[in-house]
Amino acid sequence: MNEADRRSDEARRRLEFLSVEETATLGERGVLLPDPGSVLVSPHVRLEEDVVLWPNVILQASSESRIAIGRGTNLFPGTRIVSSGGAVTIGTGAEIGEEGGFTIKAGPGDTIAIGNGARLLGSGSLTLSNWVGRGAQILGSIRCQNCTLGDGGTYRESDPDERGGVLKGSGVARGIEVPQGHVIQAFGLFSEAVMRRQSYFHPKG
């Protein structure tokens, strides 16, 4: 090991992350890491098979916290998930962080649950407690706090009114609830925007 690698691993240990070699060995458990040297993972994070960690992903959990990520979930570059006394659970086949990364932070007592097939993109964030249902989507630079998005089909579902709840646009969403088949589009405060059926934006053929 050269001096630069030794210093890198020492910094990782001090910050309570796996060494580069330990990170690379996640691949032996079925995790897909094209560039282990650019990824930071805490020892307490639980990753199922076929999770994809693209470069510049950070998964940081203290010993009294929980981060669990389900099979086949894609974490795109710039995604940061932090749990400091809270819990973050992500189901199977989710897509998080495409088009600019995504930030998820659970503090003491917070619970953030993201369902199977959910899609979060466009440099948004989840803080405090949030429930993002199966197939639900957050599309854009949206700061979500204490939001609930209902279960439904994924964005591939042919009937838009059967898809999970959606927030799209940019701004701040606090205490927002979006049921299945509905969407709120806003550029500012989501509490002031109109909720519509998803077929309003995607007319049924």
Domain edges within the chain: 3-200
Backbone dihedral region for residue 117 (phi beyond 0: left; psi -120 to 50: alpha; all else: beta): left
Q: What is the pLDDT of residues 117-129, one digit of tens each?
A: 999 999 999 999 9
Locate 71 and state its tokens: 């099979």
pLDDT, tens digit, 9 for 90 and up, residues 105-117: 999 999 999 999 9
- Give how far the C-alpha of residue 98 lies from the chain's centroid of Cα atoms, to the nearest Å: 10
The model scores a pTM over 0.75 = yes
Q: Into which CATH architecture does domain 3-200 fall?
A: 3 Solenoid (2.160)
The whole-angstrom separation of Cα 120 and Cα 125 is 9
Q: State how far the alpha carbon of 76 is from the alpha carbons of 4, 96, 161, 198, in Å.
A: 26, 6, 27, 26
Residues 68 and 92 sit within 8 Å (Cβ to Cβ)? no
